[in-house]
Amino acid sequence: MRTITNDYRESQVLNLGPGGAHGPYLVTQTGVAPRDDLPRTKMFVLRPDGQWVDFNAYACQGKPEVMDTLVFESLAEVMKLFGRLTGPARVLHLPVDKAGLEAWLERQKDRNPLQAARDWAVQYRARHPK
């Protein structure tokens, strides 16, 4: 089990822009939270405030717009944030609704996860026109 870090080289930056468009971007890292009492591997997402969160805490809510707060508009924003992060990764522990998560997983069954993220990005762009 690998502990997540604030090192950008340990993270994945996903361009969710449809059709080759630039952004929005989602920053993820898979591993365990530092100093977690019950270490379990999870997919964490970096929020623009510098805190890492379990992706499932957002997915279980069943509202695409709650994930709007997890993305970055540009790679410059991502790199600027990584430049400010020091010390161990700060993890914000949010509740995960089990029933909501199961419903979300059922909706994602037989879907390509990256395509699902890009579909969400189309909705995001509609909610946040420039």
> Is residue 47 domain-resident?
yes
Residue 2: inside a domain, yes or no? no
Look at residue 109 and tell me if it is in a domain.
yes
pLDDT for the residue numbered 33: 94
Q: Is residue 48 part of a domain?
A: yes
Going by pLDDT thresholds of 50, 70 and 90, the confidence category of residue 113 is: low
| pLDDT value, residue 114 | 67
Residue 84 is part of which domain span?
Answer: 8-127
State how many domains the chain has: 1
Burial class (CB in 10 A: 0-12, 13-18, 19+), 17: middle
pLDDT tens, residue by residue, 50-67: 999 998 898 888 888 888
75 within domain boundaries: yes
* pLDDT at position 4: 96
